[in-house]
Amino acid sequence: MTRMLVTGGAGFIGSNFVHYTVRHHPEYEVRVLDALTYAGDQTSLAPVADQVEFVHGDICDAPLVDELIAGADLVVHFAAESHVDNSLHNPEPFVRSNLIGTYTLLEAVRKHGARFHHISTDEVFGDLPLDGTEQFTEERAYDPSSPYSATKAGSDMLVRAWARSYGVAATVSNCANNYGPFQHVEKFIPRQVTNVLRGTTPKLYGKGENVREWTHVDDHNAAVHLILSQGKIGETYLIGSGDERSNKQIMRLILELMGQAPDAFEHVADRPGHDLRYSNDSTKIRTQLGWRPRYGDFRAGLAATIDWYRENAWWWGPQKDATEARYQALGR
């Protein structure tokens, strides 16, 4: 069996990746490393707890990382601080986790010769005009606009440098916004859904005109597995469903699916430097690796996600009060 180490495997995308791997790829022996910061939750792995090994630890802990990677054939690196608002309030954890943590992993991978895949974001490219059809491509220059995206851009560059300078067998993927089960309630879709479930008015930044491309987390993780099995070492792949919607459109669809009036939300102060639009040209992964999103119908995927949050208040309930307190302190 191939020994796989998944960093950040108790977070949103990482835990779903572990679930997906256990369901569809029994050829992997999975070990998870997660620091269990506020955005990581070991209960997200409860359905597969007897099929994976969990290690509570920090990717900046060099001796621990070295020990774990010495026993791994493959590292899939999800671990990151990832919320823009939090990065604007306090950038330090983002610099530490996203830059120092990635460096620590790369040094261990270089020493032990493991294969490395780095999960990144399309936010490293900055943003696009609202009224255009332009898309991000793998060749686009980086132009990050928040401490979060700047540190993710830096981590991408570290991976590429270690691949070129030291021959590390690495690939990179940059994905559009994800949605689905086990996403922390600080994020846009689960925050609005859980507000409605609690009888609280949902919140929309500014005018809600900012546009995002939404990809179901299972589609993202299917793409990652294609890169692991068929991707070319040293290459970068953009992942995106092609479904673009404004935040206001998403808000109204959530309200419709939950039986609320379309205007049953309130506007709050916009995020500083709020990116206008993201859109990935995923031609490369579609043509070279044959990836296609299974959740082509965003409405159906969103409805299933709402049902998951409705049925799993035990999971998100403990996060909710602290999250809303942080937003209240930020005036959002």
Active-site annotation holds for 235: no
Fold annotation for 2-178+215-239: Rossmann fold (3.40.50)
Exactly one of 34, 41, 81, 122 is catalytic; name it.
Answer: 122
Q: In percent, how much of the chain has pLDDT > 70?
A: 100
Chain-wide mean pLDDT for the chain? 95
- pLDDT bin (cut points 50, 70, 90) of residue 84 is confident
Contact of 188 with 250, CB cutoff 8 Å: yes
Exactly one of 41, 81, 123, 275 is catalytic; name it.
Answer: 123
pLDDT at 192: 96
Q: 14, 26, 82, 83: which is closest to 54 by C-alpha?
A: 14
Query: What's the distance, Cα to Cα, between the start and end of the chain in Å?
Result: 48
Q: Residue 323 half-sphere exposure, CB side, CA atoms within 13 Å?
A: 19
Active-site annotation holds for 122: yes
Active-site annotation holds for 123: yes
Exactly one of 20, 28, 103, 148 is catalytic; name it.
Answer: 148
Q: Which two tokens stand for residue 245?
A: 């919607």
State the average pLDDT over residues 156-180.
Answer: 97
